[in-house]
Amino acid sequence: MKYLIVGLGNKGAEYENTRHNIGFKVADKIAGLLEVSFNTSNFGWMAEGKYKGRKVFVLKPDTYMNLSGNAVKYWIQKENIPLENVLIVTDDLALPFGTLRMKMKGSDAGHNGLKSVQEMLQTPNYARLRFGISAEFSEGRQVDYVLGTWKEEEIEKLPERIEKFAKSCLSFVFAGIGNTMSSFNGK
């Protein structure tokens, strides 16, 4: 069985530690847990590993957020991965900082990365894992906020939250989405 876990983010040093790049951070942690490295590949950086007998592809698209769907579609087709074995990891303004929410399907909720994925896959029926970044910005400052860096108190909590998210992704691979949602959502 093959699985594709995609951490959404933007390439480039200026985006590396922004809220919008939390998907990349989770992908890095998953690769670390699987003891594999990322290599430059088509549409981004790919790490391949095994988890409890299952083949896991971890992708960080290099297409920038708004075109993430191109990378997702390419790798699903190239590796013939069933849609139910795909998990997209992204940031979410609607959730308090560090909140974990995995869902089987849903809307893009105004997130340009998810919007691109949905357009390219022609369906909203794919699993997504949302990392709460809260919405502590004044009117008209959303872009500055999501592309801004973390607050000091968030930085202290990030390693634990990123590890929890990475473990939930591996649970998705082995235990399935239903069990993973029961075990991890809101924790």
Catalytic (active-site) positions: 20
What is the edge-to-edge ordering of all strands in the sheet holding 2-7? 39-41, 44-51, 54-61, 2-7, 86-92, 127-132, 100-103
Q: Which residues of 2-27 are buried (b: 16+ CB within 10 A; e: fewer)?
A: bbbbbbbbbbeeebeebbbbbbbbbb
Burial level of 186, CB count in 10 A (0-12/13-18/19+)? Answer: exposed
State the Cα angle at 104 between 106 and 185, rounded to 5°. Answer: 105
